[in-house]
C-alpha cells in the first residue's frame, strides 16, 4: 500500500475523532436541554413529598440537578478520557461494567444478524440481478420491498407469536433462562435466546443490501464485457465468478459496513420486544429514566461503531478495488 | 402483444389507488375519533368477527376504529415532520452546493454528524431533550430525516452547475436569480417532490418506532406505535389480533407511500415510464 493510502486513513481517523467529540457535545446538550426532572421521573412525586430537605438535596446532587452544564460536560469529558465513564444512575453500577455486560449480549446478536444478512442479502441480490424480470427476481424484489416497509418491532412481535406463543419452540424473552444460575447457563441456551432477535434483525437487514446488489448486478449484466463473455460461451456461474463478483462485492461491503448504524437502531426496537438485556434496551431505559452517564456512553460507543464501520469500508474498498488504491476515483 | 395496458396508465392507477387509500384512512380517522375511545366491558377480548373486523381489546375498544384513528395520527405527524425535514434538506443542499467551500464543508460535516449516531438513538435523545410527547416526536423526526435528501439535492445542483446550458446562460449575462429560476428549479423541483414523498414512509416508520418505545405520545392518543406497544403486553396471552391487524395496516400505509413516490418518480422521468 502506498503512502497516499496511509495519509487518507490518517485523515479519516482525525475526522472520526473530531466527529466523536462533536457527537458527545451534541448528546450532552440534548440531555441537558431536557425539561424532565430526573428526581420526579425516578423517585416519584409521592416519595419526594415525604422526604426531608436534606435528603432531596442529596438526591439532587446525585442526579446532577442545578450544576452549570459546561462544568458538568468538562468534568464528564475529563473522566471519560481517563477511562472513567461514571456511575450509571439507574443501575447504580459503573457505566463501564453495565456497558460491558449489555454490549456483550448485543454484540452476540448483532454480529450474528450482520453476517447472516450480509451474506444472504448479497447472494439474493446477485441472483435477482442476474435473472432480471424472471420469477426469482420478482419474488426477491417483492420480499425486499415488503420488508423495507415493515417496522422491525412488528416482525419481532409476529415471530414471537408464532414461535414463542403458538409453537412454543423458542423462548419468549431475555438472554438466558429464568431461574438458572449464571454458571448453569450453557452456550446453547444463549444461542436459543438470541435466535428470534437475530432472525428479526437479519430479515430486515437483508432488503437493503439485496436491492443495491441487484441494481449493481443489472448494470454489470448489461455491460459490453459481459456480452462478450456470453459470446465466448461462458456460463452464468463463470460470468458471476469472473466478472460479477469483484465488481459487486465492493459496493456491497461498503453498504454493509454503513448498515451498522441501521442494525444498531433495529436492535433498540427488537431488544425491547424480546426484553433482551442488550445495549438497545439499556438505551431505552436510560432515556426514559434520564440516566445521563449511561446514555452518553451508549451514544458514544455506538458512534464509534458507526464511524469505525465507515473507516473499515473505506480501507477495504482500497484493498478490493485497485483503481482506488492508486488514488483514482471509482467509476 | 398480450398486455394492452400502457405502463404509464398502470403507474397512474397505482398512484391514484395509493392516494385514495391514504386519504380514506385520514378522513376515516377523523370520523372515528369518538368510536375509538368508547370502552365497553360487555364486548372485551372479542377475536375478529364481522361486526368487529379487527376484534376488540381488553377494555372492549373497537380495534378497527383505534387502528384507523391511530394511523391517521401517525400519517399526520409523519407528513408534517417529513415536510419540515425536506424543506430544510432543500435549503441546506442548495447552500452547500452554491455558497462556496466553507458552507459545503459545514453541511457535509453536519450530515456526517447526524448519520454518526444510530437513527433510533438520536430520536431517543431528541425526544428526551424536548421532554417527550408530541413535540418531541415531531422534532425528532424532522431533525433526523434531512440528511439523505440534502446529499441528493447537493449532488444535483453541483451537476447542474456544470451543465453547458447553465454556463452559457451565465456567459450571456443572465443573473443568478434568472438561472436559478429558469434553468435549475425546473430540474430540481421534481426531484424534490419525489424525495419528499419518499421521506414519508421513513418518517412514519420511525414515528411508530419511537412511540412504540414509549417516548412519544401519551396513552390517550392512540398513535399506531402506542397501539402496538399495548398489544405487546397481551401477546403472551394469545391475543394475536391486537398486534396483527394494526401492523398490517401500518405496512399497507407505508407501502402506499412508497408506491406513490415510486410512481411519481417514474411518471416524471419519461425514460423509465415505459420500461
pLDDT over 70 percentage in chain A: 82
B269: left (phi over 0), alpha (psi -120 to 50) or beta: beta
* pLDDT one-digit tens code per residue, B100-137: 788 889 998 999 889 888 888 899 888 888 877 788 88
* B245–A contact, CB cutoff 8 A: no
Residues in A closer than 8 angstroms to B215, CB to CB, are 287-288
* Torsions phi, psi for B103 (to 5 deg): -60, -40
pLDDT tens per residue, range A315-331: 887 777 777 666 555 44
CATH number of A124's domain = 1.10.3720.10
Selected residue with higher pLDDT from A162 and A59: A162
- Reported as half-sphere exposure (CB side, CA atoms, 13 A), residue B14 has a value of 19
Residue B105 in contact with partner chain A when CB distance is under 8 A: no
* Residue B247 near residue A158 (C-beta atoms within 8 A): yes
The residue in chain A having the minimum alpha-carbon distance to the alpha carbon of residue B121 is A265
SS3 for A88?
Answer: strand
- Backbone angles phi and psi of B42, in degrees to 5: -75, -10
Q: Nearest residue on chain A to B109, judged by CA atoms? A: A19
Tell me how far apart the alpha carbons of residues B275 and B273 are, in angstroms, rounded to a whole number.
6
Separate counts of helices (H) and strands (E) for chain B: 13, 0
Q: How far apart are CA A90 and CA A292, in angstroms?
A: 10
Q: What is the pTM of this model?
A: 0.84
A13 is written with which cell numbers?
Answer: 481517523
The Cα of A219 is separated from the nearest Cα of chain B by a number of Å equal to: 15
- The pLDDT confidence band at residue B274, using thresholds 50, 70 and 90, is low
**Structural domain includes residue A78:** no
Question: E strand or H helix at A93, and its extent?
Answer: strand A93-94
ipTM here: 0.83
Q: Which residues of A touch B113 (CB under 8 A)?
A: 19, 22-23, 26
- The mean of the pLDDT values for chain A is 81
Measured between alpha carbons, how far is A212 from A255 in angstroms, rounded to an integer?
Answer: 8
The verdict on residue A134 lying in a domain is yes
Count of structural domains within chain A = 1
Distances (CA, A) of B52 to A319, B9, B39: 60, 36, 14
Q: Cβ contacts (< 8 Å) between A157 and chain B: which residues? A: 228, 231-232, 235, 243, 247
DSSP category for residue B42: G
B128·A35 Cβ contact <8 A: no
Report CA-CA distances (Å) from B71 to A131, B44, B60, B141, B144. Answer: 38, 22, 19, 16, 21
pLDDT for the residue B86: 92
- What value does the mean pLDDT of chain B take? 84
Instruction: Give the separation between CA A12 and CA B234, rounded to whole angstroms.
Output: 48
Whether residue B259 contacts residue B19, with contact meaning beta carbons closer than 8 Å, is answered with no
- Whether residue A125 contacts residue A217, with contact meaning beta carbons closer than 8 Å, is answered with yes
| DSSP single-letter state for residue A87 | E
Instruction: Provide the shortest C-alpha distance from residue A31 to chain B (in Å).
Output: 5
Is the pLDDT at B138 greater than 80? The verdict is: yes
Q: Nearest-CA distance from B174 to chain A in Å?
A: 34
**Contacts with A261 from chain B: Cβ below 8 Å:** 115-119
Examine the pLDDT at A21 and tell me if it is beyond 50.
yes
Q: Decide if A151 and B119 are in contact by the 8 Å CB cutoff.
A: no
Alpha-carbon gap, residue A209 to A120, rounded angstroms: 9
A320 located within any domain: yes
The DSSP symbol for A51 reads S
B75, B120, B235: which to substitute to probe chain A, counting the most A Cβ within 10 Å?
B120
Chain A's closest residue to B258, CA to CA, is A149
Among B128, B130, B247, the residue with its CB nearest the CB of A290 is B128
CB atoms B243 and A150 under 8 Å = no
For residue A202, being part of any structural domain is answered with yes
The Cα B46–Cα A51 span in angstroms is 46
Select the residue of A158, A164, A302 nearest B117 (Cβ to Cβ): A302
Interface mutation target, options A24, A132, A154, chain B, most CBs of B under 10 Å: A154
C-alpha cell at B256: 402506499
- Each residue's pLDDT tens digit, B6-50: 777 888 888 899 889 988 888 888 887 777 777 777 777 777 777
pLDDT category of residue A294 using cuts at 50, 70 and 90 = confident
Residue B236 has pLDDT above 80, yes or no: no
pLDDT at B3 over 90: no
Phi and psi (nearest 5°) for A223?
-75, 165
pLDDT tier at A50 (50, 70, 90 boundaries)? Answer: low
Residue A72: inside a domain:
no
| Contact assignment for A151 to B126 by CB distance below 8 Å | no
Structural domains in chain B plus CATH codes: 15-40+49-274 (1.10.3720.10)
CA distances from A94 to A65, A293, B46 (A): 20, 10, 48
Nearest chain B residue (CA) to A285: B213
Burial class (CB in 10 A: 0-12, 13-18, 19+), A125: buried
- Confidence grade of residue B1 (pLDDT, cut at 50, 70, 90): very low
Domain containing residue A123: 3-38+105-324
Q: Within a domain: residue A144? A: yes
Check CB contact under 8 Å for A153 and B126: no
Q: Which residue's C-alpha cell is 412454543?
A: A168
Quick one: pLDDT at residue A65?
Answer: 63
Residue A162 inside a domain? The answer is yes
Cell triple for A20: 466523536
* pLDDT 10s digits, B84-106: 999 999 999 888 888 778 888 99
| C-alpha to C-alpha distance for A185 and A190, rounded to whole angstroms | 7
More confident residue, B181 or A85: B181
What's the grid cell of residue A150?
A: 415493515
Is the residue at A272 inside a domain?
A: yes
Q: How many Cβ pairs closer than 8 A exist between chain A and B?
A: 142
Amino acid at each position: 500500500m502506498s503512502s497516499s493510502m496511509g495519509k487518507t486513513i490518517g485523515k479519516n481517523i482525525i475526522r472520526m475523532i473530531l466527529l466523536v467529540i462533536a457527537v458527545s457535545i451534541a448528546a450532552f446538550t440534548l440531555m441537558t436541554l431536557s425539561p424532565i426532572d430526573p428526581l420526579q421521573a425516578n423517585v416519584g412525586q409521592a416519595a419526594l413529598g415525604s422526604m426531608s430537605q436534606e435528603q432531596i438535596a442529596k438526591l439532587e446532587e446525585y442526579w446532577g440537578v442545578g450544576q452549570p452544564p459546561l462544568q458538568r460536560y468538562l468534568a464528564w469529558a475529563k473522566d471519560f478520557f481517563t477511562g472513567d465513564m461514571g456511575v450509571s444512575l439507574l443501575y447504580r453500577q459503573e457505566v463501564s461494567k453495565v456497558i460491558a455486560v449489555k454490549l456483550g449480549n448485543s454484540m452476540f446478536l448483532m454480529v450474528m444478524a450482520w453476517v447472516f444478512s450480509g451474506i444472504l442479502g448479497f447472494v439474493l441480490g446477485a441472483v435477482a440481478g442476474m435473472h432480471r424480470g424472471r420469477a426469482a427476481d420478482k419474488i426477491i424484489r417483492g420480499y425486499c420491498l415488503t420488508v423495507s416497509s415493515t417496522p422491525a418491532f412488528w416482525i419481532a412481535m409476529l415471530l414471537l407469536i408464532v414461535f414463542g406463543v403458538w409453537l412454543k419452540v423458542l423462548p419468549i424473552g431475555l438472554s438466558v433462562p429464568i431461574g438458572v444460575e449464571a454458571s448453569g447457563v450453557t452456550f446453547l441456551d444463549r444461542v436459543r435466546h438470541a435466535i428470534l432477535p437475530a432472525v428479526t434483525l437479519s430479515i430486515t437487514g437483508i432488503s437493503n443490501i439485496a436491492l443495491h446488489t441487484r441494481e449493481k448486478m443489472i448494470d454489470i449484466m448489461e455491460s459490453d464485457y459481459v456480452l462478450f463473455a456470453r459470446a465466448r460461451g461462458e456460463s452464468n456461474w463463470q460470468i458471476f465468478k469472473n466478472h460479477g463478483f469483484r465488481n459487486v462485492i465492493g459496493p456491497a461491503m461498503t453498504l454493509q459496513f454503513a448498515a451498522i448504524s441501521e442494525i444498531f437502531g433495529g436492535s433498540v426496537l427488537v431488544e425491547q420486544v424480546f426484553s433482551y438485556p442488550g445495549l438497545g434496551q439499556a438505551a431505552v431505559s436510560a432515556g426514559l429514566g434520564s440516566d445521563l452517564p449511561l446514555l452518553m456512553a451508549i451514544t458514544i460507543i455506538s458512534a464509534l461503531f458507526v464511524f469505525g464501520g465507515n473507516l473499515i469500508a473505506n480501507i477495504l474498498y482500497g484493498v478490493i478495488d485497485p483503481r482506488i488504491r492508486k488514488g483514482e476515483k471509482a467509476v | 402483444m398480450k398486455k394492452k395496458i400502457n405502463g404509464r396508465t398502470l403507474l397512474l392507477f397505482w398512484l391514484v389507488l395509493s392516494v385514495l387509500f391514504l386519504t380514506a384512512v385520514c378522513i376515516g380517522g377523523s370520523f372515528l375519533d369518538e368510536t375509538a375511545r368508547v370502552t365497553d366491558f360487555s364486548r372485551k377480548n372479542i377475536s375478529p368477527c364481522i361486526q368487529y373486523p379487527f376484534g376488540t381489546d381488553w377494555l372492549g375498544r373497537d380495534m378497527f376504529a383505534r387502528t384507523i384513528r391511530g394511523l391517521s395520527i401517525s400519517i399526520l405527524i409523519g407528513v408534517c415532520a417529513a415536510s419540515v425535514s425536506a424543506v430544510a434538506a432543500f435549503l441546506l443542499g442548495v447552500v452547500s452546493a452554491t455558497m462556496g467551500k466553507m458552507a459545503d464543508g459545514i453541511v457535509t460535516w453536519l450530515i456526517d454528524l447526524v448519520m454518526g449516531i444510530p437513527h433510533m438513538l438520536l430520536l431517543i435523545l431528541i425526544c428526551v431533550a424536548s421532554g417527550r410527547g408530541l413535540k418531541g416526536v415531531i422534532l425528532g423526526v424532522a431533525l433526523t430525516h434531512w440528511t439523505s435528501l440534502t446529499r441528493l439535492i447537493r449532488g444535483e445542483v453541483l451537476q447542474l452547475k456544470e451543465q453547458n446550458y447553465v454556463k452559457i446562460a451565465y456567459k450571456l449575462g443572465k443573473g443568478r436569480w434568472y438561472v436559478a429560476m429558469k434553468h435549475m428549479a425546473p430540474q430540481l423541483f421534481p426531484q424534490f417532490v419525489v424525495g419528499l414523498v419518499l421521506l414519508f414512509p421513513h418518517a412514519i416508520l420511525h414515528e411508530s418506532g419511537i412511540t412504540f418505545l414509549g417516548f412519544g405520545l401519551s396513552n390517550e392518543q392512540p398513535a399506531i406505535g402506542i397501539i402496538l406497544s399495548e398489544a405487546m403486553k397481551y401477546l403472551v396471552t394469545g391475543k394475536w389480533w391486537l398486534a396483527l391487524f394494526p401492523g398490517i395496516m401500518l405496512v399497507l400505509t407505508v407501502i402506499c407511500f412508497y408506491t406513490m413516490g415510486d410512481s411519481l418518480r417514474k411518471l416524471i422521468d419519461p425514460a423509465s415510464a415505459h420500461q
